[in-house]
Chains A and B, each alone.
Chain A
Amino acid sequence: MSHLTDAPIDTASLIGSVMRPSDGAYVLFEGVVRNHHDGRAVESIFYDAYRPMAEKEIERITSKVRNEWPEVAVAIVHRLGLLRVGDSSIAIVCSSPHRGESFAACRAMIDRIKTTVPIWKKERGPSGEEWVGWQK
């Protein structure tokens, strides 16, 4: 299954894809485009990716999380392209019989994805545009 999409994220179907009758909880994390960064106004963000490598890297992280929390089911999708303030850029769902494992697994997922997955964002606002993380 692809972890990347160019369309708005359907969180309901993402939740439906992980929930099992034995699950008593799910944790949904959504990352959302906000209207500011480092004191500058942000109007939109363009997300770029090295798609095949990003898919592999997300799958590698997901497999590792599943191994660390074997009772947790995980689903994740990252949106690419032009997003506006309020749009969700990423959604992660973790479900488990009890809530603790899902909170921990979901936190680990987003923290690791931000570290190694080859996805980039260019923020656009009234003062221009800039690739986040690149020091000019």
Chain B
Amino acid sequence: MRVRLLFFAVLRDIAGRGDAELELPEGTRPREVWQQLRAQHHELAAYEQPPLTAINESYASPDDVLREGDELAFIPPVAGG
């Protein structure tokens, strides 16, 4: 299935891009996507636990099951205001 992964703030700097199209096995969870990112980017090696997770513009659990066409984003510590 295809999932769109969005990068913001520090994660956009680390990934070097704003988004990525992922081809994932059915049943994949955000936590597993995060582990893939950690394997790709040494800057994330120390972050065993994923940051807050959003699916389709709402906060979700990193253990929710992703579905075809979902938009996934990891939310680094927010600093608005």
- Chain A positions near chain B (C-beta within 8 angstroms): 31, 47-50, 52-54, 56, 78, 89-90, 110, 113-122, 131-134, 136
Interface residue ranges, B against A (CB under 8 Å): 6, 8-10, 12-13, 43, 54, 57-59, 73, 75-81
Shortest CB distance B69–A (Å): 16
CB-based contact A50/B77 at 8 Å: no
Contact call A118/B79, Cβ cutoff below 8 A: no
Chain B interface main SS type: mixed
Please state if A114 and B78 are interface contacts (CB–CB under 8 Å).
Answer: yes
Interface of A is mostly: mixed
Indicate if the CB atoms of A132 and B79 lie closer than 8 Å. yes
Select A120's contact among B10, B57, B59, beta carbons within 8 Å: B10
User: CA–CA, A119 to B78, complex, Å?
Assistant: 6
Beta-carbon nearest neighbor of B77 in chain A: A133
B78 A131 Cβ-Cβ under 8 A: no
